[in-house]
A and B are shown apart, each in its own frame.
Chain A
C-alpha cells in the first residue's frame, strides 16, 4: 500500500497561514493504515493547529472530515459542501488524493498535509518499509521475489556491489542488502544459476522516464 508520513506541524502552519477557514480532510484507505492521514490523525492535526492558532492569536477555524478514498470522485463529492465552505483544504491523503481534490475543485486551495513516501508494508507494528517502486516492468520473477529496484540503493540488476557486508547495505547499515536476500532466496530455491545471466539494461521508459503513465482498459470503458 501507499505509505505516507505527516509533514512537520511548522510546515503545515506555514502552508495554511493565509487562510481563515481550513478543512482538514483525511482518507480512509492507505494513509489510515499507515497512521498518517486517517480519521484519528485528522483529529490530532486539527487540534494541534487549533491550539497553535489560538496561542498565536489568529482567528482561524478548522473543520474535520474523512472520506473513504480521496482518489475517487464519488467519495470526494460526499464532502463537497464542507470543501466549498473552506478557504483551503489540508489533505492528509497521498499525492493522488491531493491532486484529485485539486482537479475536482479547480477554484479551491488544496494543500498537502503528508509526504507520500513509498509503496510498502509494515514489517512490524510501527515499522514501514519500501517494497515496490512501481517501475512498470516487474523483475521479481527473475530475482527470487526480492526487488532490486526498490530495495537496492543503486537499483543494480547485476548485484551485489562491493558494499554488501554481513547482509547489510553500505548506504544504511540497518537496511538489508537486497542482493544478499536475492542470493539467499535463489540458493534456497536451487536457482543460483539465474545469477549467471547478465540482466540487460532496464527499460526506464516504463518507469517515470517515459512521462506520466496511463493505463487504458478499453474493455472496461463505458
Chain B
C-alpha cells in the first residue's frame, strides 16, 4: 500500500471506484462543509476538495480535507502549481499527511486570468508533472526536491488529471503515460460527454498498457440545464459536448431537464463501465452535491464496497 487510503484499497481490490467532488465555500463558514459532507457521506470512496478552483479564492483544500476526516468522509486534497512554489507545496503536503490526509491530486491549476484575482502573479515554479515526480520522491525515496532526506515521509496515494479531449489529441495518451511515469497512481479525467471519442482515447491508452500501470477514473457530471450544456460546449476550453447530449435534454419538458440530466449521467457511467481500462468514475457535481446519490443509485454503484 502506498498510503492505505480507502480509495487505494477499493482500487487495488479490483472494485469499480466512485469518487466525488466538493467545492469549498468562498467564506470561513464551516457549516457549508458539514452540509456538503452530509450529502456525500457513504456515497463515494473519496471526495476531491478543489484548490482555489478556477483561480477563485476559497477555503483551502487541506483545511476542508481535515474537516472531512472528522466527519467520516475520505478526502482527496487537490494541489495546484499556480499558487505555491516548491517550498510551500512540500510544507503543505507534510502538514496534510501529518493531519491524516492520504490522497492527493496534482494539478497545474487554472490560469489566474480566469479567477477573481486576475492581476495576481501565477507561481508556476513547477508544472503538474514535476509536482508528481516531487511528491513521489518525497514518499518513495524520502527526499525533498532539493535532495535532502525526510525523516518521516508523507504517505500519499498520488493522483493526476488528464483531458482526453484537449489538443493535440494524438499526444494525450502519451502525456497520460508521462504522468504515470512521473508518479501518478491514479488519474481522473476531465468531464466526459463524448463517449465514442473517450472510448478511442482509452483504446490507445490500453494499447500502450497504461491501464495496467495506474487506475484511470473517468470524469462525469450531470448537466443541470440546456444553458449549462451550451456554455460548456462553446465556452469551456478543452470540453467536448456533442449535440446528441443536448438533444436528449431538449426532448423532455423544461421542468424535467434536471431529472433527465441525472439519468443521463447515470447512463454515461454505465457506458463507461463497459469501456476497457476504466477503473472507476469521478463524479463532479459541483454546487449540486444533492444529485450524487441518485446518480450513483441509478448507475448501480451503491452501496460502496467496504474494504
Give residues in A with beta carbon < 8 Å to B. 153-167, 170-171, 177, 180, 183, 195-196, 198-202, 204
Contact = CB atoms under 8 A, between A and B. Distances in A.
A159 B181 CA distance: 15
A204 B124 CA distance: 11
Interface stretch (B42-50, B163-171, B197-205): B163-171
Contact of B130 (A157, A160, A161, A170): A157
B134 interface: yes
A162 B127 contact: no
Interface in B130-179: 130, 133-134, 145, 161-163, 166-168, 171, 174-175, 178
B111 A170 contact: yes
B113 interface: yes
Contacts of A159: 127
B103 interface: no
B166 A161 contact: yes
A168 to B, nearest CB: 9
A153 B86 CA distance: 19
A198 B237 contact: no
B290 interface: no
B111 A153 contact: yes
B108 interface: yes
A81 B169 CA distance: 63
A171 B168 contact: no
Contacts of B81: 154
B161 A162 contact: yes
Contacts of A155: 124, 127
Given A154-B82, A171-B113, 14 more contacts: A154-B108, A154-B122, A155-B127, A157-B127, A158-B127, A162-B163, A162-B238, A163-B111, A165-B166, A170-B237, A198-B178, A201-B86, A201-B125, A201-B126
**Most chain A C-beta atoms within 10 Å of own C-beta, residue among B82, B125, B190:** B125
Contacts of A160: 166-168, 171, 175
Interface string B174-195: 1100100110000000100000
Contact of B127 (A156, A167, A171): A156
A164 B166 contact: yes
A195 B178 contact: yes
B301 interface: no
**Most chain A C-beta atoms within 10 Å of own C-beta, residue among B125, B127, B130, B166:** B127
Contacts of A201: 86, 125-126, 130, 134, 145
Contacts of B178: 158, 195-196, 198
* 10 closest cross-chain pairs (CB), A and B: A162-B163, A170-B237, A158-B129, A156-B127, A162-B166, A163-B237, A162-B238, A201-B130, A154-B124, A171-B111
A64 B130 CA distance: 52
10 contacts: A161-B128, A167-B167, A170-B111, A171-B111, A195-B174, A196-B178, A198-B181, A200-B130, A201-B126, A201-B130
Contacts of A200: 130
Interface in B19-53: none
A116 B81 CA distance: 28
Contact of B108 (A156, A177, A195, A198): A156
Contacts of B175: 160
Given A170-B111, A198-B133, A163 B122 contact: no
B292 to A, nearest CB: 23
